[in-house]
Structure 1
Amino acid sequence: MKIMIVDDHASMRKLIKTIVLFSCKEVVECIEYENGEDAVANYMTVKPDYILMDVEMGKMSGFEATKLILKQNNKAKIVIVTGNDARLSRENAKKVGAIGFVSKDNLSGIKEYLKF
């Protein structure tokens, strides 16, 4: 299984990766990107089973990156992982086509979306 982790903070990517690896019983390959642009550009090459996408990053937000990846593959499984737990962020995640939403205050919620 391949998981793409997209977050502009290396420490958060490491924490998310640790949670993913601790949660699964099978071998998981984690591919990390620090921005939405790189995630979009490499999506078709990497072909991850799931994408864990931050929202607030540099030039391209996670919402925009999600829309662009879903244009490449409308079956892509993207979970928004953000520190902004506002209702509007949850609504935007649904609007752009994410399969789920996890607050960084409750990262263990990632397990609910990953089918191992």
Structure 2
Amino acid sequence: MTASTMHSDSQAIRVLIADDHQLLLDGIATLLQSFPGVELVGQASNGQQAVQQFLALQPDVTLMDLQMPVMTGLDAITAIRAHHPRARIIVLTTYKGDTLVGRAVQAGACGYLLKSSLRHELLAAIQAVHAGRRYIAPEAQAEMARYASADVLSNRELEVLRLVAQGNSNRETGALLSIKEETVKAHMSTILAKLGAKDRTHAVTIALRRGILDT
């Protein structure tokens, strides 16, 4: 993309993309070129670069992947919003889990898009967020609604589940957390009930899908 095409229309919505997959970066760049009133002003391949590029370019809208090296997308959003509280950021991800959507919005994201639906939703999302509205992908909204009344795991329950997900037994988990094996079992019972899980494996699967645990 030449400088002339990147800065051809001063009224265009200026967009920065951050993603660690070059193919996706190239695909989104091509997609943006086909949108009327939108121009790509910069690209970043990790969260730290995204923050630097944002501060240097001051884009109108930033498209941010969540899973990136050096600094995650969530940390980058937090860092950007610390400098510019009104920054308009749209999360791009393959994950529609309700907990992850909640975390992104809490960090300051104005939009949440699934990579599988960018071709159909990206322009509408950019325009909505640029206009000061929020845009959450329908699939992600459905997940949020589905678990709106679900019980939230406590910090201790999250610690237990994270260690169990790593393959630790109740005894090993207890030793790592300096608590009794019986206490771990009690926590696991509560976790299964809160997640509506049949067993430990099912609980981990649900937690990963919902974004309660990171992959």
TM-score, with length taken from structure 1: 0.90
* Shift, 1:95, TM fit: 0.8
- Is 1:18 aligned with 2:18? no
CA contact (8 A) 2:32 2:38 kept: no
Measure the CA separation in 2 of the matches of 1:16 and 1:89. Answer: 22
Pick from 64, 68, 77: which aligns with 2:75? 64
More strand by share: 1
Residues 8-61 of structure 1 deviation map (CA, whole Å, 9 limit, x = unaligned): 000011111222222x22361331110010111232211111100000011211
Q: Which has the higher contact order (CA 8 A, sep 6+)?
A: 1
Same amino acid, percent of matched pairs: 26
Structure 2 unaligned regions, length at least 5: 1-12, 131-215
Which ranges of 4 or more aligned residues in structure 1 deviate by more than 3 Å?
Answer: none
After superposition, the Cα gap between the structure-2 partners of 1:51 and 1:27, relative to the gap in structure 1 and judged at 3 Å, is closer
* Shift, 1:4, TM fit: 0.6
CA contact (8 A) 1:21 1:28 kept: yes
Structure 1 unaligned regions, length at least 5: none
Superposed, which structure 2 residues align to 1:1-116 within 5 Å? Answer: 1-22=13-34, 24-26=35-37, 28-107=39-118, 108-115=120-127
Tell me the SS of whatever aligns to 1:30: strand
Which structure has the larger Rg over C-alpha atoms? 2
TM-score, with length taken from structure 2: 0.51
More helix by share: 2
Measure the CA separation in 2 of the matches of 1:18 and 1:95. Answer: 30
Paired letter, 1:109: E
